[in-house]
Amino acid sequence: MFGFVLYLGQPAALGVGGGLNLVIILFVMFPLMFAWIIGLSAVGGYLGGYLRTESGRTTGETRVPDRG
C-alpha cells in the first residue's frame, strides 16, 4: 500500500525525474509484495502443521490396536 501511494503521488509533479517511478516499483512495491506472499505462506504452513498435530491424524500411518 505504501509503494502504491508513493507511485500515485506522481513524483514528477514535485520536480523529480521520471526514473523515480521505476525505483519505487522495483525497490518498494515488489519487495513488499513478495514479503506479503512469503509471510502468508509461512503463516499457512505453520497453521497447517499445527492443525495436523492437534487432530492426531497423520497421512500414511496405521495405528496398532492396544493389547491390554
Q: Taking the domains of the chain in order of start, what are their residue ranges?
A: 2-54
* pLDDT value of residue 52: 87
Average pLDDT over residues 42-51: 94
* pLDDT value of residue 68: 57
First to last CA, the chain: 61
Identify residue 38 by its one-letter amino acid code. Answer: I
Retrieve residue 63's grid coordinates. Answer: 495405528
DSSP-assigned letter for residue 1: -
Using an 8 Å Cβ cutoff, are 24 and 2 in contact?
Answer: no
Q: Phi/psi zone of residue 59: left (φ > 0), alpha (ψ -120 to 50 degrees), beta? A: beta
pLDDT reading at 16 higher than 70:
no
